[in-house]
Structure 1
């Protein structure tokens, strides 16, 4: 397996720094997590974007969040078709095995995946229209929501609104999973939709009654 290379030097240095400081100072907690297993109170579905640091936003420690990341923080609808569904599998494990009390979908500003969806819907991204585009087929999940923002002339505002619609779409699709719907109706699971502004550090929460996002 010649294509697998050693870890870059700067990452090795950072690892040893972490092992000598953060790990050493919290060794007991890490060993407890290893022996007793994880009991996260919440699952967070966020974007892969490197600028979205979920644990930092909420000041979370190891063991608090069960985190899944994908392009544009999307959840596909329930489709038990035998294909590989990483997001669906993660949701299933969080709800049925870990029995998390909260399931959070976290969207963000300047989302490249959502921008790609806008470009695809406008006919400006033929590469995403190709059948062999994994990103394009993943963004098909969001395409129906584009109709809600199509007539917004300000492109930045259009993007911002579709970013928020990506969160709404994921919340709607989560409720198509029988085990999610059952847990929500039983009161053992609550769903939350959030959107964060990377540059300003703002955080907004979806209000289903008013169908809009309000500042936290």
Structure 2
């Protein structure tokens, strides 16, 4: 592979610092993780956005979360069509192999993916409508949300509503997976919907009783 290059020096230095401190001080723990395998307590599905750092938010250690990230933290509907499905594969592994007890879908403020869906549906991003756009076709999952929230006059409020709706769409789609539905109905798995306000550091959790997101 001729296009691969060595790591940037700043990453090399950060790795060496981690190896000399965090790893050196916890060698037994890392060896245990390697020898005994992973037994995460929860799966986290979140956005690729670099500002969303769920391990920091929840103070998690290595081995505690099984994390999958994609654009806007979406889960597609169950579709066993033989195509490539990275998110679906991650969910299947977490639920059927790792048998996580909790599955969290985490949305966030100022989400670029949700903004892209909004602009695409509003006719402001025609390039995303092209069949060759991976982003556009992925964000088609959220297209119905734009239609549901189009009556909100204020754009920032509309976008926030879509960000939270994206979490609910993903939770609904998770229940279309037979193995997820079976685990939930057997009370072996609990689903949770969260939304993180990046600037304020606020995490809100969806409350089905009131049908709204409430601060944790």
Q: With the length of structure 1 as denominator, give the TM-score of the two structures.
A: 0.99
CA RMSD of aligned residues (A): 0.5
Q: Does 1:90 align with 2:90?
A: yes
Please list the CA deviations of residues 184-210 of structure 1 after superposition, one character each: whole Å capped at 9, or x if unmatched: 000000000000000000000001122
Secondary structure of the equivalent of 2:33?
Answer: helix
How do residues 39-54 of structure 1 correspond to structure 2 at under 5 angstroms? 39-54=39-54
User: In 1, Cα distance between the equivalents of 2:27 and 2:142?
Assistant: 43
Secondary structure of the equivalent of 1:142?
Answer: helix
Residue number in structure 1 paired with 2:60: 60
Residue number in structure 1 paired with 2:24: 24
User: In 1, Cα distance between the equivalents of 2:150 and 2:210?
Assistant: 21
Q: Does 1:72 align with 2:46?
A: no
Gaps of 5+ in 2: none
Please list the CA deviations of residues 151-210 of structure 1 after superposition, one character each: whole Å capped at 9, or x if unmatched: 111111110000000000000000000000000000000000000000000000001122
User: In 2, Cα distance between the equivalents of 1:122 and 1:32?
Assistant: 52
**Residues paired across the two proteins, number:** 216
Q: Which moved more, 1:28-37 or 1:147-156?
A: 147-156
Q: Does 1:161 align with 2:151?
A: no
Residue number in structure 2 paired with 1:195: 195
Secondary structure of the equivalent of 2:30?
Answer: helix
User: In 1, Cα distance between the equivalents of 2:158 and 2:125?
Assistant: 17
Secondary structure of the equivalent of 2:195?
Answer: strand
Aligned-pair distance for 1:147? 1.6
Q: With the length of structure 2 as denominator, give the TM-score of the two structures.
A: 0.99
Gaps of 5+ in 1: none
Structure 1 stretches of at least 4 aligned residues deviating more than 3 Å after TM superposition: none
Secondary structure of the equivalent of 1:69?
Answer: strand
Residue number in structure 2 paired with 1:114: 114
Please list the CA deviations of residues 109-147 of structure 1 after superposition, one character each: whole Å capped at 9, or x if unmatched: 000000000001100001100000000000000001112
Residue number in structure 2 paired with 1:152: 152
